[in-house]
Amino acid sequence: MDNIQGMGMCELDLNGIDLLSVSSHKLHGLCGTGLLYKKKGIELHSEMLGGGQEGGIRSGTENTAGAVAFAKALRLVLTEKENKLKDVLAIRDYLLQELSQIEGIHVHSKKACMAPHILCLSARGHRGEVLVHALEQKGIFVSTTSACSSKAKLASSTLKAMGVSDEEATGAIRISLGYENTDAEAEQFIVAFREVLEKINEVVK
């Protein structure tokens, strides 16, 4: 199971999960370090033979600095999770409320079954790439898709499976929140987003 997005944000029952992966950089640790949970009784076979590091599963010099930083980041996330997650949820709810008041905005994320820190939305008649670059000019960084599929130019297959039209899927942007985001930043985003939409609408008229 890929739990890279959910670690520290979503409760997870490990019963029934054989393998689970987590990445350090999503927790503000260093890139290039990860964690693989293996259920007792599951057998793994090495694809890299040699020194026998990491239980003989992956040979090669361990990234000690990365592992230590990952452990520290994970400890901080799990220690502060209860209070920090409340802040994330409050910011998310504020964004949902404000976005619902902007004409032409369709939020694809459904509150009942969404990750607490990710919003996906489309602005009718606008391409996601245009919105991303316009917001970038204002110092606000969102994306059109996940980083692992950012080079793909096709509309999100996930959105299409949800019944979203090609036009809306192509125009979708993704807002990801973290423990360090603030109320002021959320307010800044809404102001900037309204300005961007207004400016683009003037250009395309």
> Tell me, what's the pLDDT at 51?
79
Is 31 among the residues known to form the active site? no
Give the model confidence (pLDDT) of 14-60 as tens digits.
888 999 999 998 888 899 999 999 999 988 888 777 777 787 777 88
Tell me which of 31, 113, 120, 148 is the catalytic residue. 148
Over residues 154-183, the mean pLDDT reads 84
**DSSP letters for 6-53:** TTTTS----TT-SEEEEEGGGGT--TT-EEEEE-TT-----SB-SS-T
> Tell me, what's the pLDDT at 139?
95
Give the model confidence (pLDDT) of 68-80 as tens digits.
999 999 999 888 8
> Tell me, what's the pLDDT at 75?
92
> Tell me, what's the pLDDT at 205?
63
State how far Cα 121 lies from the chain centre.
14
Q: What tokens appear for 18 in the block?
A: 């054989």
153-189 b/e with 16+ CB inside 10 Å = b?
A: eebbeebeeeebeeebbbbbbbbbbebebeeeebeeb
Domain ranges within the chain, ordered by starting residue: 19-75, 81-204
> Tell me, what's the pLDDT at 151?
55
Over residues 185-201, the mean pLDDT reads 95
Count the neighbouring beta carbons within 10 Å of the beta carbon of residue 47. Answer: 8
> Tell me, what's the pLDDT at 146?
54
- Residue 98 · residue 193 · CB < 8 Å: no
Give the model confidence (pLDDT) of 119-160 as tens digits.
999 998 889 999 999 999 999 999 986 555 555 566 777 787
106 - beta bridge partners?
122
pTM beyond 0.75, yes or no: yes
Q: Check: CATH 1.20.140.10 for 81-204?
A: no
State how far Cα 92 lies from the chain centre.
13
